[in-house]
């Protein structure tokens, strides 16, 4: 289930075998291809292909190389084309200072005009930027070009530029060069961009990835980009496919996005269980306030699942390295369900972990840890901060004394659960070394986590 978000299928390089190319893309599991216009003819061709093929969508626009030839008539026709329901973006537009086929000032003026046209049609923009990072970012900012979302295609900037673009509403699209042997620095940049902001593309017929470098590129080869990103991120190819496909579908407004919240979901080789969306914390950084999706899975529950529903959703637990009670809320609010399901999993010989905020003993007004002994192999408790003051500020717990209660929970857990982990957050004000001292003082190991994990 991959999406090639940038291909030039209408180009003459595909004239001999275009249908076969599309067939191969389907056979490789491509869900959608965005055929991207780069001049008026190309935009016409992209729209035509999208009309002929369900899984092809189009974008229209004039590439910086070609903008010197734009007239009012060009814009009139692009406007007509943009009305087609299969047109999902405006592009590719931007700046190319490498070749300067169009003068710099002309490129900038036409770039601005086209971002305005995209806004008129409420379409996301597909941005081409070659050796023009500063001017590209400045114009995108000044024109509020990210208002309807957008893509920096075939991204070639650094991690700081990616972060700034994401803040403006852009996604970052990665193409074949990420697979090249000498692209270590580039892969390092990709490792720093959150997967929730990444897309994949071929830019075919150009930029064929390894191991096909130098050949004509085609959409089916987008899988090599996904494979490299999976390695860089320590995810599976299926994870990368699911997440980048959701990113593309959301941006372009295409396809059926999962509407039902999931109660069991896989990331890497772990299965996560989503038992509740309630929590006794209201953490300012909690992703459930920003999105329904974690790693491409919808976690917004319509109801709290029963133990039977959870067991059914798990299927065969031996397929996973571990099963983790986690999700969009505090699992120990539903202690009985957790115990029933954990027992069932343990009977099948599979490791059980609970990710918790450590409020369980306050919630149930007793020490619940003896009840979890033998059912749970690991608890991971969100210590989050090194002071109570910061905990109250960032986690906004529902009761007083929550920080101390959470620390007591960690210490007690070490008596009943084989592995106890305390997690700290990479918030700017949190002293990680101090968190480590606190965790180790309570008998637990510290794990530092990024800001995108719930629980
Ligand atoms: S991050 Fe975890 S503890 Fe904080 S509100 Fe979200 S689910 Fe609750
Ligand atoms: Zn381009
Ligand atoms: Zn292109």
Indicate which ligand has the atom closest to the C-alpha of 206. Answer: 3
Beta bridge partners of 127: 93, 152
The owner of tokens 């700034």 is 164
Question: Residue 255: its pLDDT value, please?
Answer: 94
Confidence of residue 108 (pLDDT cuts 50, 70, 90): very high
Write the pLDDT tens digit of every residue in 67-86.
999 999 999 999 999 999 99
Residues 6+ apart with CB under 8 A from 307: 336, 337, 340, 341, 344
By DSSP bridging, strand 351-356 and strand 322-325 are parallel
Confidence of residue 455 (pLDDT cuts 50, 70, 90): very low
Give the orientation angle of helix 388-395 with respect to helix 402-416, to 10 degrees.
100
Mutate to test the pocket of ligand 1, among 325, 326, 330 (most ligand atoms within 8 A of CB): 330
- Among the listed residues 107, 97, 120, the one whose alpha carbon sits nearest the alpha carbon of residue 62: 107
Q: What is the DSSP string of 141-166?
A: HHTTGGGG-EEETT--S-HHHHHHHH
CA of 64 to the centre of ligand 2 (A): 9
CA of 128 to the centre of ligand 2 (A): 4
Distance CA 228, CA 236 (A): 10
Q: Give the atom of ligand 1 at the shortest distance from the alpha carbon of 355.
A: 2
Assess whether the C-beta atom of 276 lies below 6 angstroms from ligand 1.
Answer: no
**Per-residue pLDDT averaged across 444-455, rounded?**
73
- Structure token digits, residue 351: 């490791």
> How many Cβ atoms sit within 10 Å of the Cβ of residue 236?
16
Q: Which CATH architecture fits 264-449?
A: Alpha-Beta Barrel (3.20)
- Structure token digits, residue 145: 């070009």
Beta bridge partners of 96: 130
Is the pLDDT reported for residue 447 higher than 70? yes
Write the pLDDT tens digit of every residue in 279-336.
999 999 888 887 888 888 888 898 999 999 999 999 999 999 999 999 789 999 999 9
Q: Which segments within 279-428 are labelled E, that is strand?
A: 293-294, 297-298, 322-325, 351-356, 378-384, 419-425
Assess whether the C-beta atom of 357 lies below 6 angstroms from ligand 1.
Answer: yes
Q: Give the atom of ligand 1 at the shortest distance from the alpha carbon of 395.
A: 4
- Structure token digits, residue 393: 């500020």
Question: Residue 260: its pLDDT value, please?
Answer: 84
Write the pLDDT tens digit of every residue in 4-50.
999 999 999 999 999 999 999 999 999 999 999 999 999 999 999 99
Whether 255 contacts 32, CB under 8 Å? yes
Assess whether the C-beta atom of 406 lies below 6 angstroms from ligand 1.
Answer: no
Three-state DSSP class for 293? strand
Backbone phi and psi for residue 425, each to the nearest 5 degrees, phi listed first:
-105, 145
Q: What is the DSSP string of 304-342?
A: PPPHHHHHHHH--GGGSSEEEE-SSS-GGGGHHHHHHHH
Backbone phi and psi for residue 34, each to the nearest 5 degrees, phi listed first:
-100, 115
CA of 203 to the centre of ligand 3 (A): 5
- Structure token digits, residue 11: 């180009």
CA of 293 to the centre of ligand 1 (A): 15
Question: Residue 451: its pLDDT value, please?
Answer: 59
- Which CATH topology does 2-252 take? TIM Barrel (3.20.20)
- CA separation, residue 103 to residues 68, 108, 153, 156 (Å): 8, 9, 21, 21
- Does this chain's domain 2-252 share its CATH topology with 264-449? yes
- Among the listed residues 93, 89, 110, the one whose alpha carbon sits nearest the alpha carbon of residue 47: 89
Is the pLDDT reported for residue 374 higher than 50? yes
Distance of CA 416 to the CA centre of its chain: 37
DSSP H helix total and E strand total for the chain = 16, 17
| Domain locations along the chain | 2-252, 264-449
Question: Residue 453: its pLDDT value, please?
Answer: 44
Assess whether the C-beta atom of 2 lies below 6 angstroms from ligand 1.
Answer: no
Distance CA 38, CA 271 (A): 43
Exposure class string for 24-61: b at 16+ Cβ within 10 A, else e: ebeeeebbbbbbbbbbbebbbbbbbbbeebebbbbbbb
């Amino acid at each position: 289930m991959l999406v090639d978000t940038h291909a030039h299928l209408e180009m003459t390089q595909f004239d001999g075998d275009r249908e076969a190319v599309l067939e191969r893309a389907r056979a490789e599991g491509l869900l959608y291809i965005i055929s991207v216009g780069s001049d008026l003819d190309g935009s016409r061709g992209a729209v035509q292909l999208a009309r002929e093929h369900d899984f092809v969508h189009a974008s229209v626009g004039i590439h910086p190389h070609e903008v010197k030839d734009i007239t009012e008539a060009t814009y009139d026709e692009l406007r007509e084309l943009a009305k087609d329901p299969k047109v999902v973006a405006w592009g590719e537009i931007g700046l190319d200072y490498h070749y300067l086929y169009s003068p710099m000032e002309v490129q900038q003026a036409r770039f601005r005009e086209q971002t305005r046209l995209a806004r008129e049609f409420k379409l996301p923009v597909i941005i081409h930027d070659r050796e023009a990072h500063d001017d590209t970012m400045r114009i995108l900012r000044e024109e509020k070009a990210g208002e309807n979302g957008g893509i920096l295609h075939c991204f070639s900037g650094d991690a700081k530029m990616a972060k700034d673009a994401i803040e403006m509403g852009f996604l970052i699209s990665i193409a074949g060069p990420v697979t090249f042997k000498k692209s270590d620095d580039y892969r390092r940049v990709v490792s720093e961009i959150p997967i929730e902001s990444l897309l994949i593309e071929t830019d075919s017929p150009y930029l064929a990835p390894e191991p096909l470098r130098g050949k004509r590129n085609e959409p089916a080869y987008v899988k090599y980009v996904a494979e490299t990103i999976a390695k860089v991120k320590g995810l599976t190819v299926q994870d990368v496919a699911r997440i980048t496909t959701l990113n593309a579908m959301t941006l372009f407004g295409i396809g059926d996005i999962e509407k039902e919240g999931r109660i069991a979901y896989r990331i890497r080789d772990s299965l996560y269980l989503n038992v509740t969306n309630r929590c006794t914390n209201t953490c300012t950084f909690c992703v459930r306030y920003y999105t329904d999706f974690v790693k491409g899975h919808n976690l917004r529950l319509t109801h709290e699942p029963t133990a039977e529903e959870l067991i059914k959703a798990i299927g065969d637990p031996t397929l996973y390295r571990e099963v983790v009670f986690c999700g969009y809320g505090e699992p120990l609010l539903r202690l009985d369900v957790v115990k029933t399901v954990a027992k069932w999993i343990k009977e099948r010989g599979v490791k059980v972990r609970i990710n918790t905020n450590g409020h369980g003993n306050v919630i149930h007004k007793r020490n619940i840890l003896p009840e979890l002994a033998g059912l749970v192999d690991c608890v991971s408790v969100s210590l989050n901060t090194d002071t109570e003051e910061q905990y109250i500020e960032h986690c906004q717990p529902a009761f007083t004394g929550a920080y101390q209660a959470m620390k007591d929970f960690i210490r007690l857990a070490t008596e009943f659960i084989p592995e106890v982990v305390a997690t700290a957050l990479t918030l700017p004000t949190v002293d990680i070394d101090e968190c480590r001292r606190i965790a180790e003082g309570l008998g637990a190991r510290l794990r530092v986590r990024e800001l995108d994990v719930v629980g």
